[in-house]
Amino acid sequence: MHDNSGYNDSSNNGASESAREFEEMLNQHRLYYLDLGKVDEIFTYYLTKNDFRKARKLIELAVKIHPSSSELFFKHAKLLYENSDFNGSLKEIDQALYLSPMQPEYLWFKSEILSQLDKYEEAIELLEGLFIYTDQPSEVYLQMGNIAQICSRLPESEAYYRKALDLHPEYEEALFELAFLLESEDKLVDSKDLYEAYLEKNPYATMVWYNLGILLKKLGNYEKAIEAFDYALIIQEKFHAAHFQKGILLQESFRYEEALQVFLEAAAISKEDVHTLYHIAECFENLEAYREAFRYYKKVLDLDDQYVDAWIGMGACQEKKENFIQAIHYYEKGRQIDDDNSDICLSLAICEYKLGNKQNAYSQLNNALTIDSSEASLWQDWAQFLFEQDNVEGAIMFLEEGLKFVDQRAAVLYQCSAYCLLGGKIEQGATFLENALILDYDNHYLLFHYGEALRSNKLVLTLIKQYS
């Protein structure tokens, strides 16, 4: 709402003293003269403190002293707008325009107020009047596109953004607004084509490469997304967000060593970014370097002791080293922060079971399912744990019970089929497999995730071919 980028400590100290004097005046119910410069100084100070109540009180009193100052009415209009009082804001901006007719900044802001009141035609008509006052009509078209979008006039919004780009082909802000609009309409490919066409003419547009990478990730094209982030990093080497997003893609592709190197580069740029440090820890954990993983999880918690996933990570490192008592300690630390976390309860259940405390284990498992019985991963992870404990019958029965609750039935059916077939329950396994193939053939590879040996099973191959 207000640019305070040049507001330094010395000016802040002076403004603080001016604000103190003003508040003392209010407390003593005295009204004395405040020049406009002093008002602006105190107003800016209040905004830096996010104290909108005092800012509004200041402007209300200042208007009484300077009733012909259009800028004060403009400031008041913006405060009311921030408080979602759009009718009050409109009244104040109209007074500002009465005192300073055809002031472009006021007209611009009035169009935003009108859009919030769903007065689309009035807002557009107002902006059309600005063309004769500006030498940058592309900016007016951009604002018209924003207004149309606020008023849910998406075809008009797209048209205005395209006009802005036609007039100013290198206008990145218009490009991004149009691309985001297309994405919101699920036109991801159109958005991708827009970025690529722009980059053909402007190959050094760092943020365009970055946004293209984000979009390609949404489209599932990870290799092209990584390539886009690489181009952004060639142009701007110390681009933390591009390093971070590239690392995420590599991590999600199970390329943990590469991801680790990228996250370490990101951490060198932003040394105290907890999310980067967390992903470094995750990569070390997935590489089974538990000592380093634990060290980085601790770094996260030194910066933010409320970071639940880091407590879980520390617990997981101890669990994988079979230090189950220590693992429970860290999981409990996480649960103290988030007592509604079903994953923590499940992890506690597994640790308790491995310690031989089966009653505690089933109690924690029940807690996890009470929190969210529709979460398929809870049923699947516990079943996998039972299967790894050679309790095949228990794993199958647990998954069958889970089928009554979960929405992602196909994944559970594939897992259940695998366990049945591996456990010698051929007919039952074939039935589960057929049901899974009918529901979601494309993900039939999940069967082999739970039973690699089934890749050469003739019955399995016949059924998969039958439903292809």
Question: Are 401 and 463 found together in one domain?
Answer: yes
Q: What pLDDT sits at residue 31?
A: 67
Contact yes or no for 244/276 (Cβ under 8 A): yes
In-domain check, residue 44: no
Contact yes or no for 107/87 (Cβ under 8 A): no
Q: Which of 406, 335, 411 is nearest to 373 (CA)?
A: 406
* Tokens found for residue 111: 């169009």
Residues in Cβ contact with 200 at an 8 Å cutoff, skipping those fewer than 6 apart? none
Residue 35: other Cβ atoms inside 10 A: 11
Question: Are 389 and 460 found together in one domain?
Answer: yes
- Could you give the angle at which helices 206-218 and 222-235 cross, rounded to 10 degrees? 170
In-domain check, residue 298: yes
Question: Are 323 and 388 found together in one domain?
Answer: no
What does the alpha-carbon distance between residue 229 and residue 437 come to, in Å, rounded to a whole number?
37
Question: Are 358 and 380 found together in one domain?
Answer: no
Q: Which of 456, 397, 468 is nearest to 432 (CA)?
A: 397
What is the DSSP-derived secondary structure letter of residue 468? -
Q: Which residue has the tokens 């992890």?
A: 347
In-domain check, residue 437: yes
Q: Which of 322, 356, 372 is the last residue of a domain?
A: 372
Question: Are 360 and 440 found together in one domain?
Answer: no
In-domain check, residue 409: yes
**Number of domains the chain contains:** 2
Question: Are 378 and 468 found together in one domain?
Answer: yes
Q: Which of 353, 372, 391 is the last residue of a domain?
A: 372
Contact yes or no for 244/266 (Cβ under 8 A): yes
* Tokens found for residue 35: 């020049």
In-domain check, residue 450: yes
Q: What is the CA radius of gyration of the chain?
A: 30
In-domain check, residue 148: no
Contact yes or no for 81/113 (Cβ under 8 A): yes
Which helix (H) or strand (E) segment holds residue 71: the answer is: helix 70-82
Q: What pLDDT sits at residue 5?
A: 43
What does the alpha-carbon distance between residue 249 and residue 227 come to, in Å, rounded to a whole number?
11
What does the alpha-carbon distance between residue 419 and residue 447 come to, in Å, rounded to a whole number?
9
Q: What pLDDT sits at residue 16?
A: 86
Q: Which of 347, 372, 397 is the last residue of a domain?
A: 372
Q: Which residue has the tokens 């284990």?
A: 361
Contact yes or no for 238/219 (Cβ under 8 A): no
Q: What is the largest CA-CA distance in the chain?
A: 93
Q: Write out residues in the chain with pLDDT < 70, as ranges.
A: 1-13, 29, 31
The string over 282-320, giving b where at least 16 C-beta atoms fall within 10 Å of a residue's C-beta and e elsewhere, is: bbbbeeebbebbbbbbebbbeeeeebbbbbbbbbbbbbe
Question: Are 415 and 337 found together in one domain?
Answer: no
Question: Are 395 and 326 found together in one domain?
Answer: no
* Tokens found for residue 172: 């990145």
Question: Are 407 and 428 found together in one domain?
Answer: yes
Its pTM stands at 0.84
Question: Are 339 and 406 found together in one domain?
Answer: no
In-domain check, residue 401: yes
Q: Read off the pLDDT of residues 28-73 as tens digits, 9 standing for 90 and up.
A: 767 677 889 988 999 999 988 888 888 998 998 899 889 999 999 9
Question: Are 362 and 378 found together in one domain?
Answer: no
Q: What pLDDT sits at residue 22?
A: 84
Domain with 449 in it: 374-468
Q: What pLDDT sits at residue 166?
A: 96
Torsion from C-alpha of 48, 53, 59, 61, nearest 10 degrees: -140
Question: Are 380 and 432 found together in one domain?
Answer: yes
In-domain check, residue 179: no
Contact yes or no for 406/376 (Cβ under 8 A): yes
The CATH code of the domain that includes 445 is 1.25.40.10
**Concatenated DSSP letters for 240-306?**
HHHHHHHHHHHHHTT-HHHHHHHHHHHHHHSTT-HHHHHHHHHHHHHTT-HHHHHHHHHHHHHH-TT
What does the alpha-carbon distance between residue 172 and residue 165 come to, in Å, rounded to a whole number?
9
Contact yes or no for 314/345 (Cβ under 8 A): no
Residues in Cβ contact with 67 at an 8 Å cutoff, skipping those fewer than 6 apart? none
Q: How far are the Cα atoms of 245, 259, 274, 387 from residue 279, in angstroms, in the given order?
A: 11, 9, 9, 30
What does the alpha-carbon distance between residue 268 and residue 95 come to, in Å, rounded to a whole number?
52
